[in-house]
Amino acid sequence: MIRMNENYLKLQASYLFSEIAKRVNTFQAQNPDKKIIRMGIGDVTRALPNACIEAFHKAIDEMAVNATFRGYGPEQGYAFLREKVAEHDYQARGAEISPDEIFISDGAKCDTGNFQELFALDTRIAVPDPVYPVYVDTNVMAGRTSSWKDGRYEGFVYLESTEANDYVPALPTEKVDVIYLCFPNNPTGRTITKAQLRPWVDYARENKALILYDAAYVEFIRDDSLPQSIYEIEGAQDVAVEFRSFSKTAGFTGTRCAYTVVPKRCKIYDASHNAHSLHAFWDRRQSTKFNGVSYPVQRAAEAVYTSAGKQQVRELSDYYLKNAALIRETIAKIGFPCVGGDHAPYVWVKTNMDSWQFFDLLLERAGVVCTPGAGFGKCGEGYIRFSAFNSYENVATALQRIAESLKTL
Ligand SMILES: Cc1ncc(COP(=O)(O)O)c(C=O)c1O
């Protein structure tokens, strides 16, 4: 008899997007002529930058000729890409990260999900609330929590992002070993300053803890004083792993390329308190379970770092940021407090009512789909998330409809 991993029974059904789809389908069936505008899901809508497409084509042509054909590549990624990442994304901003500390992968989702495999089962984990659900569910699957109670899993320490703390959580009051942080944040769109990030690094150093820093939305930061990487904070190389992705940066959600930085200075401890190299274990894990990202995809990602690529990537994020600014301004004008949208593609809106109720209201009155905040955690109740990933025309139409339909609220 095949016994199951019963931790999977603790998982709450992936209710959010299926429930959204169900409600949208019902509405569409009842209103077949209504053009629904989707501002819920965080998937990009614009084509890959031309520089990436050219590099992609060229690499595919190389695969067509025996002399330049490539088979299995290095599990950690090709040196050409690791070198560009280290130079442009880190060294250029004063963060001392070397190419062999970069692990190329097919997504920040897999990396943020897989990384917890390196930790003991009784590791105390702190997760944000609201949260990108991958951090939570992968630790539940591994068995680091007990059951679901009152909208939360017992066993996690929840780092609450609320209006009271301006959506940047306070340090945990109890001792934790691993801390997930995400800035610019999904779903709140909030960024963090260096002064706000420094205490987290200090906490991790004092407590031999590790920060898993998800910077998937870094490309949207426009204020140069904000940290783009946790390694801009002194001492973070000892206590932080950073995840980044080409998904939102360069439109790679369907192409798949990302990377994780594991500094060689980071340590992990055995039960006798002996220190081991975290880098060595992630390297071991990846070499055993992962066979690398395809050569043409890595060449396409490399093109992001050419001058044409940099400009095109900037144009892409500018496009979405223009949408985000319009969302924020319009929604605030209607009278709902918002955060995010200035250095992030998400706008987090305080609805002053149940988030599913507000979702239904927008759908029924305006034919617009948002994401109910309650789907991201207990602190998301009373909020909704708008995504700026859409055409400007759709966003403008959606906002007109919203303004019109909420007049009588
Ligand atoms: C915070 C955050 N991290 C990671 C990811 C996943 O990125 P990738 O497409 O590289 O798997 C997402 C995607 O929505 C995200 O919101």
245 lines ligand 1 (CB under 6 A): yes
Are 126 and 377 in contact by the 8 Å Cβ rule? The answer is no
Q: Is the pTM of this model over 0.75?
A: yes
What are the tens digits of pLDDT across the range 91-101? 999 999 999 99
Q: Please give the pLDDT value at position 18.
A: 84
| Ligand 1 atom with minimal separation from the 253 CA | 9
Mean pLDDT of the residues in the chain? 96
Q: Is 107 in the pocket of ligand 1 (CB under 6 A)?
A: yes
**pLDDT over threshold 80, residue 88:** yes
β pairing state of 258-261 and 240-245: antiparallel
**In angstroms, rounded to a whole number, what is the distance separating the alpha carbons of residues 73 and 65?**
17
Q: Is the CB of 192 within 6 Å of ligand 1?
A: no
Q: Which of the pair, 389 or 409, is modelled with greater confidence?
A: 389
CB 102 within 8 A of CB 293: no
For the segment 128-147, the average pLDDT, to the nearest whole number, is: 96
In this prediction, residue 237 carries a pLDDT of: 98
Q: How far apart are CA 278 and CA 121, in angstroms?
A: 16
How much is the pLDDT for 12? 86
Mean pLDDT in residue range 170-186: 97
Residue 408 scores a pLDDT above 90 = no
Task: Tell me if 282 sits within 8 A of 273, measured CB to CB.
Answer: no
Residue 81: pLDDT band (50, 70, 90) is: very high
Give yes or no for residue 216 CB within 6 A of ligand 1.
yes
Identify which of 85, 109, 182 to mutate to test ligand 1's pocket (most ligand atoms within 8 A of the CB).
109
Report pLDDT for 407.
79
pLDDT tens, position by position, 222-235: 999 999 999 999 99
- Asked if the model's pLDDT at residue 409 lies above 80, the reply is no
Band (202; pLDDT cuts 50, 70, 90): very high
Q: Which of 195, 203, 197, 202 is nearest to 215 (CA)?
A: 197
Is the shortest distance between the CB of 247 and ligand 1 below 6 Å? yes
Is the C-beta atom of 108 inside 6 A of ligand 1? Answer: yes
Average pLDDT over residues 182-199: 98
- pLDDT bin (cut points 50, 70, 90) of residue 41 is confident
Please state, for a pLDDT cut of 90, what percent of the chain lies above it.
95
Average pLDDT over residues 203-221: 98
What is the phi-psi region of residue 234: left when phi exceeds 0, alpha when psi lies from -120 to 50, beta otherwise? beta
Phi, psi of 339 (to 5 degrees): -135, 160
20: confidence class by pLDDT, cuts 50, 70, 90: very high
Mean pLDDT within 14-40: 91
- For residue 104, report the distance from its CA to the centre of ligand 1, in Å: 14
Q: Looking at residues 295-320, what average pLDDT do you find?
A: 98
Is the CB–ligand 1 distance for residue 258 below 6 Å? Answer: yes
Average pLDDT over residues 166-189: 97
| Residue 14 pLDDT greater than 80, yes or no | no
